[in-house]
Chain A
Amino acid sequence: MIELAPHNKHSLALAAPVMAGSGAVGYADAWPPGISATMFGALVTPPVSWRPRRGHSPGRLAETPAGFILTTGDHNPGFRRVMDDHALEWRRLAVPILMALAGSTVEDWDRIAGRLEEEPGVAGLELHVTAGARPVDVANWVGVVRRATTLPLLVKLPSSQAATLAPAAVGAGADALVIGSGPLAAAVRQDGARLTGPLAGPAAFPFTLVGVAAVAELGLSVPIVAGGGICRLEDAQACFRAGAMAIQLRSLLWVDPAAAVRLVEALRG
């Protein structure tokens, strides 16, 4: 077992080192072919806000060399609807569910966190820190959530700022760090318009790896989870060697689910 919250009374033990990253399988209701919950140590939901968010307008996807930009704008039906529709199923799944909290609505985080304290279907939270945040912001946001819940808290940091923000997150009560969301990038859509958002897919992996290594060197004594562009066994192994205890998959599950299965099986190996 891999313990992602060693200092938390609730514990967050993963039976496998691979997690389904935020929204990779929807709310555990959108499974690519050949993919099942048993492959993963934990599942992370899409970012959830207190109220429904329509997200960004259509035209959310643009391709980059070896990757893509996807800007959903934290599109979600709102906390209450998510819980009504999915919490029962989450309780039945034999894998921990982490609820991701939308980085665009940090003002909701403590309210949602407080409601989840007694929810048996949710094993922890993943807070999404947006690019451009300052250490003092991160300390404030994580601190507010920490006071609202005792559940395990994972804090997902932008890979390019990970080393700068990680001490603040851990100091405020993060149980583990996820490194992280890709750097801000721009690409041209099929209709010629420019789309700006975090880089995803294999192109983001070098940024993930440098972020993991930089945070590991800080010696913060919390587990590190690597996420962002991991698509080969070699990528996963590089992350583990750099100091990650677990990895998250997302784009690989969407683009090549069979390759994701091979990766998971190789790691079980």
Chain B
Amino acid sequence: MIQITATLIERRSLGAGQELRLRAPALARSLTAGQAVLVQTGCGLAPYLRRVFYPIALDDESWTLRVPADGDWGHAWLRTVAIGATLDCLGSVGNGFSVPAGSRNVLCLGEDAPASVAGPGISAWALLPAIVQAASEGRAVAFALEAALARDLIPSQRLPAAVEYHTAIRPPRIPDRPASPGVGVAQFLPELLPWADVVLAAGSLAFYSELATAVRAVRYELGRGFAQILYPAAFLCGVGACQACVADLATGRHRICQRGPVLDLVDVVGEA
């Protein structure tokens, strides 16, 4: 991990949210999709905690974060930062997505997930760098995305042309309520899961639980190495000291900054 000053070089608005492109070569070159960056926001001491972002675009010189259109004061401050301003970044945190060398067919599954008890919401936008990289490597990529509102879906023009894109609108999940079958991206899984060599997913824990159920139903087993998920955790230090990001995984209570934030789906739901 490094602490580095990044320069805001581009701002794009998308609905009420924004994308900020930050020039920080040393950080950009060390980042992979799914790794977190902790960004200082605000002036002085408030807000005090860094905001957690996952890159939505990467190149050799810069990385891009997406500021959601929510009421968070750190996000609100970021939406007002002038081009040319500098932002203090700590990253990268943990492990990112990694497509195994022999995987030809990559299935990406996303949900625009709200904040939960486990931590901040995970945006499917975090999958974008992995999608772009897999497509550029000549792999076949399918991307299925669900959101509560059409405006929260990723515009198709943001994806490489070769990516097969499926979208679904579904009402937000209600904790502790069983999922409705065939709703959201679940409707695509009977066709896509047998095709996939590897799955990369970003969403809520309920989303991952439904994914595991679907994998077991369609492929008859959930083995280690088939599905990688981005775990929604709240980070404070990012180096394993503070224990703020602990999560109860199948193998026990672990620090997500050390084990994740990208985990094998088996680590989350267990082998059974």
B40, B88, B242, B244: most-surrounded residue (chain A CB, <10 A): B242
B237 with A191: CB separation less than 8 A: no
Residue on A nearest B243 in the bound complex, by CB: A72
Q: How far is the CA of A31 from the CA of B45 in the complex (A)?
A: 22
In the complex, A55 Cα to B3 Cα: how many Å?
29
Known: A26-B241, A30-B239, A70-B236. A258 touches B3 (CB 8 A): yes
Given contacts A60-B244, A63-B49, A231-B45, contact A31 B239 (CB under 8 A): yes
User: Looking at chain B's contact residues, is the secondary structure mostly helix, strand, loop, or mixed?
Assistant: loop
Chain A residue contacts of B119, Cβ below 8 A: 58-59, 190
Query: When A31-B239, A70-B244 are in contact, do A58 and B49 touch as well, CB less than 8 Å?
Result: no
Q: Which residues of A contact B1 (CB under 8 A)?
A: 32-33
User: Which of B1, B3, B50, B241 neighbours the largest number of chain A CB atoms within 10 Å of its CB?
Assistant: B241
Are the C-beta atoms of A257 and B3 separated by less than 8 Å? yes
The count of A-to-B residue pairs whose CB atoms sit within 8 angstroms is 111
List of B residues within 8 angstroms of A115 by Cβ: none
Taking the closest CB of chain B, its distance from the CB of A260, in whole angstroms, is 10
A23→B3 contact, CB < 8 A? no
A189: chain B residues within 8 A (beta carbon): 117
Assembled-state Cα–Cα distance A201/B223 (Å)? 43
Task: Mark out the residues of chain B between 82 and 127 whose CB falls within 8 Å of any chain A CB in the assembled complex.
Answer: 88, 90, 115-120
How many A residues are at the interface, by size bracket?
A: 35 or more
A-side contacts of B120, CB under 8 Å: 190
Q: Are A25 and B241 in contact (CB under 8 A)?
A: yes
A254 engages B236 (CB within 8 Å) = yes
In the bound complex, residues from chain B placing their C-beta under 8 Å from that of A257 are 3, 90
Q: Are B90 and A33 in contact (CB under 8 A)?
A: yes
Q: How large is the interface on B (under 10, 10 to 19, 20 to 34, 35 or more residues)?
A: 20 to 34
For B246, what are the chain A residues with a Cβ–Cβ distance below 8 Å? Answer: 55, 58, 60, 72, 75
Do the beta carbons of A190 and B115 come within 8 Å of each other?
yes
Indicate if B199 sits at the interface (CB-CB under 8 A).
no
Check: B48 CB closer than 8 A to any chain A CB. yes
CB–CB A190/B234 < 8 A: yes
Query: What does the 1/0 interface line of A62-84 toward B look like (CB < 8 Å)?
Result: 01111110101001000000000
Chain B residues in the interface with A (C-beta under 8 A) = 1-3, 40, 45-50, 88, 90, 115-120, 233-234, 236-237, 239-244, 246-248, 253
List 7 A-B pairs, Cβ < 8 Å. Answer: A23-B241, A32-B90, A61-B236, A66-B46, A191-B115, A191-B116, A256-B3
Q: Which 8 A-B pairs have the closest CB atoms?
A: A254-B237, A30-B241, A190-B115, A30-B240, A61-B244, A66-B45, A26-B241, A202-B45
